Structure 1
Amino acid sequence: MSTDPSEKFVHAEYWDQRYLERDEGQFEWAKSFANVRPFFEAHLPPATSTPKIVQLGCGNSTLSKDLFDLSYHSQTNVDFSEVVISTMRSKHPEMEWQVMDVRKMTFSSETFDVAIDKATLDAMLYGSLWDPDEEVRNNVKAYVDEVARILTPGGRWLYITWRQPHFLRPLLQRPDVWSLDVHTLQDEGGSFEYFGYVMTKRS
């Protein structure tokens, strides 16, 4: 049993309570849109191709709206917190918002061209990543398998995190399902490194 206090992040009840108690407005767990925009510009299909995008664990980030303003209008936003989904649906009714656990999504297979994760997987990674707890491995496997299932052939999973590649590659690799590339995200502020992972599903 883990004693890591961040274990609470894997439970919807924690987030519902947090969103009820804190008036955070909008909160970014990993970089502002200005910092990550070059990564998305490099790896998203052009907006003119109207890709179907799913935002995984969207929280109250501005990312969905920022991409919507760049003409990515076909976005479905999911989070397992009913509180935050209700709030974001009221703020941005132009997009779709659904209460859903990313480890057991109800979408049909091969529904989305792009899946985006901005630190959602990180919330599942508590305790030692040198030897993850069985619950951590099970949660990550369930999530990664679901992302692979809902992506169309040739689709991409774009994941932004501060987690080091030597920890994440073993958890994310699916050689028969997708290729995996890692990019270091540049930052002028001198903060520690962030990474952009690109998983491209094989056709």
Structure 2
Amino acid sequence: MFTDESACNTYNYGDSVYWDARYIHEASAGSFDWYQRYHALRPFLRKYVPTSSRILMVGCGNAVMSEDMVKDGYEDIMNVDISCVAIEMMRRKYEHVPQLKYLQMDVRDMGFFLDDSFDSVIDKGTLDSLMCGTDAPISASQMLGEVSRLLKPGGTYMLITYGDPTVRMPHINRPVYNWKIDLYIIPRPGFQKPPGSTSSPKSHLSPVRTTDKGMLPADYVLEDPDSHYIYVCTKMGESSDPSDPRLIFDQ
């Protein structure tokens, strides 16, 4: 239930064996960033994640996302991944960058960290990977439960995914998490409108209006049929403040 298996292939993306083998095989290819690079995500991160935040990057892989964030002023990023191969590679690469730390860890069990340990959790494709693995709904629930536990009240879980609201909202929009969710939609890197298109451009920096159940309105038309979705989930609590400076873009 609530899986999107049509977007998956025959690989088990939730398995460390798959990822270890992949990182060994592709070691000479260098880094790889899923979906979007930092420059495209910067406006959203700057809006919701202050540079002084303690950040958890789940499923970091060998991406340069965290490196780019440090270059832009972010001070404390803990990176975790299920692959010991990827983590060892990244530890060696960034051993002289004190703002970046790396731990091998399964996001379904992050008991190493105490409750309320992080101001922000960033997920660029990790939930998607679990949704392509075995026992996908259980794995997703385990991961999201851990994310919720680790977030401080007022903290944000930023999910960057190919999953539209019909397949992601049932997992993240649950009362147990008590998250306020804002949705943004951005086109794939390099997307260009078809010649002759007369549709007016959409503002990717404004939240998309959703229905009471968190779905897109029936008349909403995607600018790019293969858009990426950014769900900004703010953990509500006593310290949540609607006047939080994160509600102002820093461009």
1:53-68 matched pairs, under 5 angstroms: 53-68=55-70
Structure 1 position 166, deviation (Å):
1.3
Equivalent of residue 52 in structure 1, options 47, 54, 79:
54
Taking structure 1 as the reference length, what is the TM-score of the superposition? 0.88
Q: Does 1:182 align with 2:216?
A: no
Q: Does 1:110 align with 2:116?
A: yes
Structure 1 position 54, deviation (Å):
0.4
Q: Does 1:159 align with 2:159?
A: yes
Greater per-residue helix proportion: 1
CA contact (8 A) 2:80 2:102 kept: yes
The SS at the match of 1:153 is strand
- Equivalenced residues, count: 193
Structure 1 position 178, deviation (Å):
1.4
Taking structure 2 as the reference length, what is the TM-score of the superposition? 0.72
The 2-side partners of 1:15 and 1:77 are apart by 16
- Structure 1 or 2, whichever has the larger Rg, is 2
Aligned to 2:147: 147
Which amino acid in structure 2 is aligned with residue 77 of structure 1? Answer: N
Aligned to 1:130: none
Moved more, 17-26 or 78-87: 17-26
* More relative contact order, 1 or 2 (CA 8 Å, 6+ apart): 2
The 2-side partners of 1:173 and 1:25 are apart by 36
The 2-side partners of 1:138 and 1:175 are apart by 17
The 1-side partners of 2:29 and 2:127 are apart by 21
Unaligned runs of at least 5 residues, structure 2 = 193-223, 238-251
The SS at the match of 1:72 is coil
Moved more, 28-37 or 90-99: 28-37
Deviations 1:88-143 (CA, angstroms, capped at 9, x unpaired): 1111122110000000002111000000000111111238xxxxx7x111000000
The SS at the match of 1:8 is coil
Unaligned runs of at least 5 residues, structure 1 = 128-132
Cα-Cα RMSD: 2.0
Which amino acid in structure 2 is aligned with residue 158 of structure 1? Answer: M
The SS at the match of 1:77 is strand
